[in-house]
Structure 1
Amino acid sequence: MNKPSFASTADTTQRTIAFDEIGPGLYAFTAEGDPNTGVVIGRDSVMVIDAQATPVMAKTVIEKIRTVTDKPIKHVVLSHYHAVRVLGASGFGASEVIASKATRELIVERGQEDWDSELGRFPRLFQAAETVPGLTWPTVTFQDRMSVWLGDREVRLMHLGRGHSAGDIVAYVPDADVIFSGDLVEYRSACYCGDAHFTDWPVTLDRIAELQPRAIVPGRGSAVVGEDKVRAAFASTRDFLTTLYGSVSKSAARGLSLKQSFDACRAVMDPKFADYAIYEHCMPFNVARAYDEARGIDRPRIWTAERDRSMWADLQG
């Protein structure tokens, strides 16, 4: 059997972009499993949720926005710190870049390492990488909750607990019952768990579900509209996480090696999730983090370009 190419370096196929209205003045910019961006149009301004990986890629989002409004883009919200979500922020020319305090702390601690790591893993997502002016720094941070008013439209930004990272936030638009979840919820896409908190994540999902959204823009995958599809997105995300961590924690408790735990986990996960977007890319990183957490390492270790390739060779080689 051919060995898989490192992460997503062999993925060079451009995805088809969709720009769908999922509520009044609410849009999902999606691309067949690539990172999503959310758009909220208020009375006097526009908010963008997650900024893509480069300013050039941000321009593609702006082009879509300009097909529906000429209002200024005043706010960029970062759902978490990962490079593919944040490094395009400068391209929007917003007056505010908003994130949780925990996300800013992660940028301080590991932002440059994450940039180098993600660029090496998935070069297609960094179109015109040379246009990135540097790390994206929030201009506004908050601990748990804050409201941003776009004229008379409220957007509630909430840090409901750890999950995909320690700093994840969701953006909730109460007048339409729509949530932009970042990578806390995925739809037909693998959860990336390299910086995850597996024990906390299902609890955070419960807190999001308590808002009873009628639509969700997930971190990856198409927008989810309607109560049945929303429930399915929560259920499949939870199933992915609990199946993965359940397998790895059992292996760790038995004293199996990381490689043995990876092979056992793949045997359980592949039949259910192998057709999900970025599944092959995610699994080595996911199992490595799950193995650490199962052995008592609460804070995810920093991924570097060197650690990425060493781990991949150990598990996939």
Structure 2
Amino acid sequence: MTNDEIEQLLTQAAISNTKENFANAEHLCRKALSISDGAPVNEDEENISKLLSMPAVLQNAVALRLLSESLWRRGMASRSLAFAKSALAIALDLDNQPEIALSLSNVGIVYEHLSDSVAALEFFTKALAVQEKLGDSEGIASNHGYIGVAYKAIAEYPLALEHMHKELAFYEESGNQNNIAASFHNIGSVYLDLMDFSRALEYYGKALAMNEKNGNNVWMSNNLSSIGKIFIDLEDYPQALEYYHKSLSLVEEIGVKDAVANMLSNIGIVYSRMLDYPKAIEYLQNSLTISEEMGFKVHIVRCYINIGYFYKGAGSIQVHYNT
């Protein structure tokens, strides 16, 4: 395969990730790297080792980074990490500063998906320093956003809002609608944690309107799910179910397995709040099935715990009705 052919594959892979066609992006990256589709984890590890033992090639770094992105965007962060770190290793070997910055951010995102926000902050901060050195305004803005999300995860809300508003200011100036919507959503999530529901709804509503206009289904599902969470906190369960079901439809269509499992679980919890335990158990069982298929260990444990509670609740209601 010629360099030009590989470049074309990588361009198409980047576009596929942008258009939420993640399976195709993975296929194209594997083709560029000469790694077979559907390879088991141990075979992927062997292929990565071979790539790292070869002379560093920028195309390999880009392909590995895009491949890792296609995985974590579908809820496979644990499998994505090795590809992300390998991409960074090659970029560092080449001392290619733009690719180093992108790879640092990508590793940070994977750690954020793995709920290791401290590690994520480390990589995002390094990426920001490189972007500032390069004078890459958009990269600087993106990393402020990533840092804000990581600070939110560790409940450092003033710092989270500070970085998120820096990101938003840049994107509002540049007019990037997709990134403005993402910034709105992230700011809304901070206000949700702070239980400022009116502000959270305001920012989520702005984000949802923009994402609907631009057809960003992944972000729309996030917006809808977050609005549903607000209505749970407000104990308006029918409204919560409405938003959760809309979010579920989108993630099922896209094929983001971890999001599908989470939404099924969330819907089950809403039904439990409404004391409809048979429905709650049905949704939790469906969530558990997907979680076991994908190896989402933390979620598997949560499903079993909740199902146990729901069976106990259903039994209590049955006893109550029979007396």
Question: Does the TM-score normalized on the shorter chain lie above 0.5?
Answer: no
Which is helix-richer, 1 or 2? 2
TM-score by length of 2: 0.33
Name which one, 1 or 2, has greater alpha-carbon Rg.
2
| Higher RCO by CA contacts (8 Å cutoff, separation 6 or greater) | 1
